[in-house]
Structure 1
Amino acid sequence: MDFFSDIAGKRAVVTGACGVVGRWIAASLREAGAALCLTDTDAQALQDYAEELGLGSGSFTFAADLTDEASINGLVNTVEEHWGAADILVNNAGIYPSGFLLDISTQDFDRIFAVNLRAPFILTKGIALQMIAKGIKGSVINISSGASRKMRRTVVPYCTSKTALDRLTKGFAIELAEFGIRVNALEPGFAAGSAVSSLTDEHIANTIAAIPLGRPSSPSDVANGLLYLASEASAYVTGATLTIDGGNSIGSLAVHQAKKHPL
C-alpha cells in the first residue's frame, strides 16, 4: 500500500458499498487510510459493515435509493455537511436483473438505467461541483464491465447501460479536466456472488473455466486497480478504462451453449 500512500487522509464516497465488489473497494480505501462515506440501500447493513471495518469519526454511512434523485441529492448534501467536499467518488452500485428483451418490463429497463447510468450522472455532477468549489483536484471512478463491449443474452439492458457509462466517463473526463478532476472507469473481473440474480454452481464453474488466466477476481485485483486510479500514481490518466479481468473480455477459452428463449 506504500505506493498509494497519498490516499491517506483523503475522503472517498463509495456507492453499492455492501455488495461483493463494493466491500472490496471500501476495504482497500480504508486500509489505504481514507475516510469513507459508504452508501447502499440497507441502512442496517451499512452500519454493520462500517463497524466491521472499524470506521472512525471522520467516516459515515448514508442509505440512499439511487433510483430517486431526491435521495441522491440528499447524499450529496450530506457529503458537503460532513466534509465540504470529497476527494474520491466511486460509482460502484449497479444492478443487472436478467431477462430476454421480449420479456423484460419497461419498469425494469428504466430501473437498470436509473441505477447504472442516471445515478452516476447526478452523483458525479453534485460531487464534482463541490470539488470545484473547494479547489480539489479529485478522482471519479466508475465501475464498468466487460459487458460494455461484449453483448450477453438475457442481460442486454445491463450491457447497454455499461456502454453508456463508458461514454459518460469520457464525457465527464473531457469536461472536468480543466478543473483538474480525473474521471476513469474500472472493469473488475468475474466475482461470484455479486449478481442480483443467483448463479448456479455450474454457471460459476463454466465462467471461471472460460477465463484465460483461469480464476475469478480477488479482492487484491480490484484493490490494486482502484487505488491506482484514486491516487496520484495515475495523475496523468483520465477518460481511460482499466480492465482487470484475467483476459475474460478479450476472448473465451470455452464456448458456452447459448441460452434460448422458450418460444
Structure 2
Amino acid sequence: MRHALITGAGSGIGKEVALAFARGGDALTLADLHAEPLEAVAAEAREAGAPRVEVVPIDLRGETAHDELIEAAWSVAPIDVLVSSAGVYPATPFLELDARAWDFVLDVNTRAPVLLTVALAKRAIEAGRPASIVSISSGAALRARPGAAPYSTSKAALEAATRASALELGRYGIRVNAVAPGFVEVDSAVNPVTDKYADAVGDTPLGRRGRPDDIARAVVWIAGDEAEWITGEVLRVDGGSSTGAWHLPQHWTALGREGDADA
C-alpha cells in the first residue's frame, strides 16, 4: 500500500486521479482550496477501496503552503507519491495582462508544484525513502492560444522544472515526471470552458475528446513500479492532438502530377 498526496483533488482530473489510486488500495491525502468538494471525493475514495483518506483544504498560493501541506500529509504516513494536479486557466487577452493576473496563474500552476517537489524531496531524502512525483502539464506548453499567455508559460516552465528536478533528484531514488493532457471534458466551476471553445479544440486524430480517466490511468502508471526507469519525461495523453495541425486543409489535392511541384 502506498500513500499518495494529490492536489486539486476536489474535482476534474485530480478527483479521477484520487479515485484511481483508491481503486488500487492506496491511502490518500487530498488537497484543494475548498473543504466541501474534498469531503465528497474522500467519501467516494473510501467506497472505491482507499484504506485511509485525509483531506487538507489549503490555498497553494500561500507563502508556506508547500511546507504545511507536506508536513500535514507526512504526519499521517510517509509520502510515496505526489501528484500536483491543482491548476487554473483563466483567459486574459495579452494586452490586458498585469502583474496580479500573471502571478495568479504562475503561482498555482508552476510555483506550487515546484515547491511541493522541493519540500517532499527534503523529507524523502532525510528519511532515506524513494518517491515518485507527477505533475499535470498541458498541451498548451507546446502551443499557445489567445488569452492563455500565462497558462502556456506556466506549463512550459513546469515541464522544464520537471526535467531539472529529475536530473538532481534521481540519485536519491526520487523520480519526477509530468503528464500532459490534451482537451479533457471536466465539470469544473473553477475552470469552466465554453461549448464553442470545446468544439474548437476537442477534435483529435483518435476521434474523441479526452476523459479524466484517460489521464488518471497514465498518472497511476508513470507513478508506479512499471515505470521505475522513467524520470524527467512528459507523457502526452492527448488523443494525438500534439502530432500536428489536425484541422489544416491539404495544400494540394494530388501528388505526382506534372507541374504540382518543382523538381
Taking structure 2 as the reference length, the TM-score comes to 0.88
Is there any run of 5+ residues in structure 2 with no aligned partner, and where? 249-263
Distance 2:27 2:221 in 1: 17
**Aligned partner of 1:35: which letter?**
A
- Paired position in structure 2 for 1:249: 242
Is there any run of 5+ residues in structure 1 with no aligned partner, and where? 1-8, 256-263
Query: Which residue among 96, 103, 110 is the counterpart of 2:103?
Result: 110
- Paired position in structure 2 for 1:37: 29
Q: CA RMSD in A?
A: 1.6
Q: Are 1:76 and 2:75 matched, yes or no?
A: no
Contact 1:21/1:194 (<8 A) preserved = no
**Aligned partner of 2:166: which letter?**
A
Distance 1:201 1:80 in 2: 41
Distance 1:221 1:198 in 2: 20
- Give the total of aligned pairs: 245
Q: Are 1:176 and 2:180 matched, yes or no?
A: no
Q: Report the alpha carbon displacement of residue 208 of structure 1 after superposing the two structures with TM.
A: 2.1
Contact 1:139/1:230 (<8 A) preserved = yes
Q: Report the alpha carbon displacement of residue 150 of structure 1 after superposing the two structures with TM.
A: 0.9
Q: 1:12 to 1:166 in 2, by over 3 A?
A: same
Q: Report the alpha carbon displacement of residue 179 of structure 1 after superposing the two structures with TM.
A: 0.3
- Paired position in structure 2 for 1:148: 141
Structure index of larger Rg: 2
Q: What does 1:165-244 align with in structure 2 at a 5 Å threshold? A: 165-193=158-186, 196-209=190-203, 211-244=204-237
- Paired position in structure 2 for 1:4: none
Contact 1:41/1:64 (<8 A) preserved = yes
**Aligned partner of 1:106: which letter?**
A
Q: Deviations over 1:27-47 (max 9, x none)?
A: 111111111110000012111
Taking every aligned residue pair, what percent have the same amino acid on both sides? 34
Distance 2:12 2:209 in 1: 13
Secondary structure in 1 aligned to 2:6?
strand
